[in-house]
Structure 1
């Protein structure tokens, strides 16, 4: 447990509390109930776990994985592109990544399938020096990206598009995911796509920086994060996929109903102070509600996102049919076990 000050008020959503009743206590060993079960190798798309990817850690620390007989080994990767490569090569069982590299892998003939969502709504912002007042002001300036086609580069294109710009109008500078703020501060770059907690921390620490645009405002119907597997793996391990998604959905519901414990777990995972994560919680869960309470798979939104990729020129090949891209079975089966949250759209 972190030694950070605990001055947070718990937020209690009565309906969701009923759904998470009977959960394991913090600190239980979640693998204990999963003894004898194969360990699922899961890859996350950032070097340090982000708030948006913290559901797996909540599921682990609260014992939800153990409740469903699931054991996991979590590994952090440089980007979603790297996670896709690892799943494709059989180094991982389950990948977590933004949707773009998954779509491109399937469009190129890969046998991957999206089975769930960690956060189906965008949780990132474009952060710039305060003298950048509009996206058009980025013309000719250096902007930070990881890899072309990876999530942050795609989000950068969407921001540039708001100013009538293309990548040819700026200078791409490769930056590691955990070095964006430092690169902004020392002037190497003039724009970076940051996770919400990174943006909150940067704005507090460096008054010369500000949020230029929230991507959720630019593309509100864009599908963000996916859990995906190879179809060959899914054919042999569908029950494990169902149980994993049940545990993760239970974690989402717990997170909405238990702010203080969620903040504690996420702060430890991300390395940010509780106050930063508390403010980020209010943005991500209270305001934007980024974590799905039911399946998190809206095939219409996913199709619209693929169309956006095509318009941006980042779709590698023809758009794959939705039935090739998505397998809704595991998420649907998980909700059958848990029961759906009435009134929740996803």
Structure 2
């Protein structure tokens, strides 16, 4: 499980959904774009994914909104294979190369395209290869199917700790995100179709309160205590590495689930820079997130 989405399974394991009277199934998808597709198809009611999908979907005619924001940084890192680190010093050196992302249309896709554009490349100067995360990402880099790629922890920490990769651009802290992207980039969140939220305000409120309770738990317990709540399959024989990676990202999690004031504008600017359909659409940022349920009492 990628650390950026850990509040989903943690809320389930802590019993906070049940405390709110909710019966919630947590279904894992390899990339955010897959979960987005499931939402549009009506197979799921909500997605724990990146906030940028709310803007992307609105530009395509589908209104979705973030109900609770998990973090003010993407938690992503652009890695380069150690075997190629001598000649690939920045995204400017990606020309003619295959670059890994979790999925085409995913947030790693969005951010990679923005960073390469920022460093002077055009979209046809390099190839994006969807390699998911975890073992498939590691194998793609190990077997040289990709020379670089964007992923999250614990995948990034595993590659770095084994010296199979080096950091090119780190988006795992608020400070490094500001430096790379020009502002805060709100990332992980719970987003749902606006029509479903309007029709089910009580369930939306309960979901919001359950997740906020988890965010408070994250800030009042140690990384070791939090990882102990997770299924062993999440870290297998790498528990120490998982704990260390979580401890580093822990301060970036929100304490109250609120959207950072300047965050939506930063995300819109980045998506507009890489996607003509977003640029051409009069996106209403006020419809991409809501604090209504954060401000509504009644959470248990």
| Structure 1 CA distance for aligned equivalents of residues 164 and 12 of structure 2 | 38
Q: For residues 211 and 197 of structure 1, do their structure 2 counterparts lie closer, same or farther at Cα, with a shift above 3 Å needed?
A: same
Measured after TM superposition, the shift of residue 332 of structure 1 is: 2.6
Measured after TM superposition, the shift of residue 74 of structure 1 is: 0.9
Q: Give the corresponding residue for 1:36.
A: none
Please list the CA deviations of residues 20-63 of structure 1 after superposition, one character each: whole Å capped at 9, or x if unmatched: xxxxxxxxxxxxxxxxxxxxxxxxxxxxx311111122222222
- Which 10-residue stretch deviates more, 229-238 or 158-167? 158-167
| Structure 2 CA distance for aligned equivalents of residues 123 and 264 of structure 1 | 21
- Which of residues 291, 297, 302 in structure 1 aligns to 2:253? 291
Measured after TM superposition, the shift of residue 337 of structure 1 is: 4.9
- Which of residues 190, 196, 199 in structure 1 aligns to 2:153? 196
- Uncovered stretches (5+) of structure 2, i.e. residues with no partner: 172-176
1:198-277 to structure 2, matched below 5 A, reads 198-205=155-162, 207-215=163-171, 216=177, 217-219=179-181, 220-259=183-222, 260-266=224-230, 268=232, 270-272=234-236, 273-277=238-242
Count, aligned residues = 285
| Structure 1 CA distance for aligned equivalents of residues 19 and 228 of structure 2 | 21
| Structure 2 CA distance for aligned equivalents of residues 157 and 51 of structure 1 | 23
1:318-333 to structure 2, matched below 5 A, reads 318-333=281-296
| Structure 2 CA distance for aligned equivalents of residues 81 and 213 of structure 1 | 22
Q: Is the 8 A contact 2:96 2:125 kept in 1?
A: yes
Measured after TM superposition, the shift of residue 284 of structure 1 is: 0.2
- Which of residues 10, 13, 20 in structure 2 aligns to 1:68? 20
| Structure 1 CA distance for aligned equivalents of residues 158 and 274 of structure 2 | 30
Q: Is the 8 A contact 1:142 1:171 kept in 2?
A: yes
Q: For residues 88 and 94 of structure 1, do their structure 2 counterparts lie closer, same or farther at Cα, with a shift above 3 Å needed?
A: same
Measured after TM superposition, the shift of residue 326 of structure 1 is: 2.1
Measured after TM superposition, the shift of residue 229 of structure 1 is: 1.3
Q: Give the corresponding residue for 1:46.
A: none
TM-score computed with the length of structure 2 as normaliser: 0.86
Q: For residues 266 and 212 of structure 1, do their structure 2 counterparts lie closer, same or farther at Cα, with a shift above 3 Å needed?
A: farther
Q: Give the corresponding residue for 1:185.
A: 142
Please list the CA deviations of residues 275-327 of structure 1 after superposition, one character each: whole Å capped at 9, or x if unmatched: 11121122201xxx221111321353112211221022365441421232223
| Structure 2 CA distance for aligned equivalents of residues 62 and 174 of structure 1 | 33
Structure number with greater CO (CA < 8 Å, separation at least 6) is 2
| Structure 2 CA distance for aligned equivalents of residues 82 and 175 of structure 1 | 13
Q: Give the corresponding residue for 2:11.
A: 59
Question: Secondary structure at the residue paired with 1:77?
Answer: coil
Measured after TM superposition, the shift of residue 93 of structure 1 is: 1.2
| Structure 2 CA distance for aligned equivalents of residues 303 and 331 of structure 1 | 21
Q: Is the 8 A contact 1:264 1:274 kept in 2?
A: no
1:281-320 to structure 2, matched below 5 A, reads 281-285=246-250, 289-313=251-275, 315-316=277-278, 317-320=280-283
| Structure 2 CA distance for aligned equivalents of residues 124 and 237 of structure 1 | 33
Measured after TM superposition, the shift of residue 107 of structure 1 is: 1.7
Q: Is the 8 A contact 2:185 2:263 kept in 1?
A: yes
Q: Is the 8 A contact 2:50 2:189 kept in 1?
A: yes
Q: Which has more radius of gyration?
A: 1
- Uncovered stretches (5+) of structure 1, i.e. residues with no partner: 1-48, 340-346
Q: Is the 8 A contact 1:149 1:314 kept in 2?
A: no
**Deviating runs (4+, > 4 A) in structure 1?**
336-339
| Structure 2 CA distance for aligned equivalents of residues 198 and 319 of structure 1 | 37
Q: For residues 256 and 268 of structure 1, do their structure 2 counterparts lie closer, same or farther at Cα, with a shift above 3 Å needed?
A: farther
Q: For residues 222 and 269 of structure 1, do their structure 2 counterparts lie closer, same or farther at Cα, with a shift above 3 Å needed?
A: farther
| Structure 2 CA distance for aligned equivalents of residues 213 and 265 of structure 1 | 31
Measured after TM superposition, the shift of residue 269 of structure 1 is: 5.5
1:42-53 to structure 2, matched below 5 A, reads 49-53=1-5
TM-score computed with the length of structure 1 as normaliser: 0.75
Measured after TM superposition, the shift of residue 140 of structure 1 is: 1.8
| Structure 2 CA distance for aligned equivalents of residues 232 and 313 of structure 1 | 25
